[in-house]
């Protein structure tokens, strides 16, 4: 701020840290905004614009103009830890890790996700964004929230890969996958020893349901909390931002297709079997 013009917009590309908190360090919080790009930036068409509590309408307008000049598609969301896209996408990675810990065959997890229409499986994408980054986000959230912090279902798996196994992701040489220079990547053979396979494996449909429903359910929570304010932006963000299957029409259209009654009933069943993260809110 000491060197940029007084009318300049200061934007952060953070994917998780609340914009309102970052803006507290600014003398011009009305000109502070989140402009969240997706990786790889040259290929991903969506940009998530995040409003801090003091972000002005003028700053928002200029951010939208900027994204338009880049010929990308914007969605506008309100401030929240993880915002909309990272928060919902994070449930996909976390559920994959939870299944791995339960003893589900990692190949079943990855192939089930791809068969449902996700671009890659949750373990592969965790390697791409790095398990190390997930651990840093978890630790930062834990430090910020204190007693209110609730461990994600992936907590133990992520900690183990970073702190014990020293396999924090692709750019560090390996994570859930190995990346040989002269061959295609493949699931790390050590997974079988670290996470023994359960004798009874779930049906692929059950794996797909867990991965798809958890993302859709988190979207409804974001709608309920006012993080995302329109169904159109929620659907658009899910498809263009993190690759939710296009055939569904997006996370909320997916629920509409299933039918809300059926979706809620199935979430209740999943909650009883796998944990309260599947429990739908009263809303």
- Residues with a known catalytic role: 48
Beta bridge partners of 36: 48
User: What CA–CA distance (Å, rounded) separates 224 from 222?
Assistant: 5
Sign of the torsion formed by the C-alpha atoms of 103, 108, 111 and 117: negative
**Is 61 within 8 Å of 38 (Cβ atoms)?**
no
Backbone angles phi, psi at 10, to 5 degrees: -105, 120
DSSP designation for 117: T
Given a contact cutoff of 8 angstroms between Cβ atoms, the answer to whether 86 and 58 are in contact is no
Integer angstrom CA distances of residue 231 from 69, 222, 255, 272, 281: 25, 11, 11, 28, 18
Cis, peptide link before residue 211, omega less than 30° from 0: no
Cβ neighbours of 283 (radius 10 Å): 8
For every residue of 51-106, DSSP letters joined together read E-TT--HHHHHHHHHHHHHTT-EEEEEE--TTTTHHHHHHHHHHHHHHHHHHT--H
Cα–Cα nearest to 100, from 122, 127, 133, 69: 122
The structure tokens listed for 238 are 């899910």
């Amino acid at each position: 701020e000491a060197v940029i013009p007084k009318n300049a917009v200061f934007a952060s590309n953070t994917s998780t840290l609340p914009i309102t908190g970052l803006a507290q360090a600014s003398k011009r919080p009305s000109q502070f905004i989140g402009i969240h790009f997706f990786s790889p930036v040259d290929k991903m068409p969506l940009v998530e614009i995040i409003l801090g509590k003091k972000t002005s309408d003028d700053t928002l307008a200029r951010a939208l103009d900027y994204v338009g000049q880049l010929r990308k598609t914007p969605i506008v969301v309100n401030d929240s830890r993880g915002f909309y896209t990272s928060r919902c996408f994070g449930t996909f990675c976390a559920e994959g890790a939870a299944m791995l810990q339960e003893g589900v065959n990692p190949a079943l997890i990855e192939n089930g996700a791809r068969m449902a229409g996700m671009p890659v499986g949750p373990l592969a994408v965790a390697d791409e964004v790095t398990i190390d980054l997930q651990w840093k986000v978890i630790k930062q959230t834990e430090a910020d929230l204190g007693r209110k912090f609730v461990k994600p279902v992936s907590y133990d798996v992520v900690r183990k890969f970073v702190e014990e196994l020293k396999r924090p992701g692709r750019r560090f040489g390996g994570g859930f996958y190995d990346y040989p220079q002269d061959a295609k990547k493949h699931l790390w053979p050590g997974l079988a020893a670290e996470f023994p396979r359960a004798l009874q494996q779930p049906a692929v449909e059950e794996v797909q349901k867990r991965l798809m429903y958890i993302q859709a359910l988190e979207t409804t929570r974001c709608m309920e909390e006012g993080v995302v304010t329109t169904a159109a932006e929620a659907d658009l963000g899910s498809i263009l931002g993190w690759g939710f299957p296009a055939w569904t029409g997006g996370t909320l259209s997916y629920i509409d297709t299933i039918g809300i009654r059926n979706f809620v009933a199935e979430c209740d069943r999943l909650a009883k079997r796998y944990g309260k993260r599947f429990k739908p809110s009263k809303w």
